């Protein structure tokens, strides 16, 4: 686990030590999800498929069980970096999940996860945390960047890495330059007692 302080916010990175996420069943079911339940995300320029939780949450996809179990364990292990942690009676509430597939020429505009998409208002009702698992990250892939004023911090993400950040940190994704798509799984959650 690696913790960075970026613009006053913790960013936590955990590398999946095994390739539990690399299996044909999981990739096949992700591709089915993209094929049947994809839409274009408004903050992304270029061709992109984004599959949201409806109708099938990604944590229910066959072939991803081991990965999801590992992600859930990491959510609890990183908790002290985001909330006052008490070891008993502590859980998390998964608010939203989706898979994102970016193609060559796509990039993500600067945004946060604290805006309610229906109203455009800031979400101040919870202490939501965002985590991104880099499922497929080919050479020449886009990178996660954090921004504040004129300063930019590149995350230099790796395949198999799970990156956590708070909902209100401004971030973007650089242009994807590979012919092989970039695939990420995104989890938004809150800690509850």
CA–CA distance, 181 with 50 (Å, rounded to integer): 12
Domain limits at 32? Answer: 2-192
CA–CA distance, 88 with 81 (Å, rounded to integer): 17
Closest to 75 (Cα-Cα) out of 184, 183, 188 = 188
41: CATH? 2.60.120.620
Q: Residues of the chain whose pLDDT is less than 70?
A: 53-55, 86-89, 115-126
Q: How many CA atoms are closer than 13 Å to the CA of 132, on its beta-carbon side? A: 24
CA–CA distance, 63 with 68 (Å, rounded to integer): 10
**Number of domains forming the structure of the chain:** 1
109-163: pLDDT as tens digits: 898 888 655 566 666 666 789 999 999 999 999 999 999 999 999 999 999 999 9
């Amino acid at each position: 686990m690696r913790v960075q302080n970026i613009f006053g916010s913790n960013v936590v990175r955990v590398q999946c030590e095994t390739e539990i996420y690399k299996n044909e069943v999981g990739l096949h079911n992700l591709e089915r999800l993209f094929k049947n339940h994809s839409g274009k995300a408004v903050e992304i320029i270029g061709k992109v498929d984004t599959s949201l939780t409806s109708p099938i949450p990604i944590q229910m996809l066959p072939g991803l069980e081991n990965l999801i179990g590992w992600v859930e364990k990491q959510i609890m292990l990183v908790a002290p970096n985001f909330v006052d942690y008490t070891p008993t009676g502590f859980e998390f509430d998964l608010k939203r999940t989706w898979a994102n597939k970016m193609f060559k020429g796509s990039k993500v505009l600067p945004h946060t996860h604290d805006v309610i998409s229906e109203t455009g208002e800031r979400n101040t009702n919870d202490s939501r945390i965002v985590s991104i698992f880099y499922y497929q990250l080919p050479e020449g892939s886009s990178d996660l960047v954090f921004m504040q004023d004129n300063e930019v911090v590149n995350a230099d993400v790796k395949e198999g890495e799970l990156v956590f950040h708070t909902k209100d940190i401004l971030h973007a994704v650089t242009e994807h330059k590979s012919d092989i798509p970039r695939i990420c799984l995104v989890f938004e959650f809150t800690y509850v007692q």
